[in-house]
Amino acid sequence: MLIKEKGMEEMDQIFDLEKMLTFFNIIFYSLVLNILFLFCNLPFLFFYFFVGIGSIGEYFPLFLLCLLPVAPALSALLHSMMKLVEYKDICPVKEYKKGYKNNWFKAIKTGTIQIIFAFILKTNIQFFKQIPQLSILAGMFMIFMLILIMMTPFIYLLIVRYDMSVLQILKAALTITIGKPVYAIANLMIAGFVFVLFELIAGTTFLFIGSLYAGLLVLSNQKLFHKLESR
């Protein structure tokens, strides 16, 4: 009996050790993936540190151009985090490179369309704000801008999960955003949570900011895509 209990304790210790190793592997992989993500987003980082987020309104066209590299980088990161969530053990550089290469064209194309729409919406918002009688139109375009922002996580999750045309991806993302508002709001809350965390502990969060955001997106939307795939 004592031998059996001792054997069970040893097994528990082995399982605990495996859990610890898996946890530290995930931390390390997340760090590597985040570094790759940040490296691919140098234009945005330059804007953030040298121009400043507070100057977005003044330099909006430049800000949008700096966002373009984010599209393939986010696709690669989401692809890698999906694999990490599923398998727990990956080659982060290999997976990121694979996700970047396979989704680059579609992500750039979709990102360009988003940037064009964002520029048009911002221009209309500024224009109609100056005309009191048409200020309601400014509010309408603000709602369209919010919908465009809320569509973004779904767009890039769809890109990495399915072989669809850009038009199909945009239609599906819009349908999910309007039809499943709880998930859309949850995605906004994730972005807000990561931003607040960055404000509170910028140094540590900066090392994992992209991976943390992508990982939470993958986990929070798993149930949604499983439901869609089971139909």
The predicted pLDDT at position 2 comes to: 44
The predicted pLDDT at position 112 comes to: 97
pLDDT tops 70 at residue 8: no
Higher-confidence residue of 135 and 101: namely 101
For residue 88, what is the DSSP state? S
CA distance 222 to 200: 28
Tell me the pLDDT tens digit for each residue of 137-176: 999 999 999 999 999 999 999 999 999 999 999 999 999 9
Mean pLDDT, residues 197-214: 89
Ramachandran region, residue 88 (left: φ > 0; alpha: ψ -120 to 50; beta: rest): left
Listed by start position, the domains of the chain span 2-230
The predicted pLDDT at position 21 comes to: 79
Mean pLDDT, residues 80-94: 89
Per the listing, tokens 């982060």 go with 92
The predicted pLDDT at position 187 comes to: 96
Tell me the pLDDT tens digit for each residue of 168-196: 999 999 999 999 999 999 999 999 999 99
Phi, psi of 25 (to 5 degrees): -65, -45
pLDDT tops 90 at residue 10: no
Beta carbons within 8 Å of 24's beta carbon, 6+ residues apart: none
Tell me the pLDDT tens digit for each residue of 28-84: 999 999 999 999 999 999 999 999 888 898 899 999 999 999 999 999 999 999 999
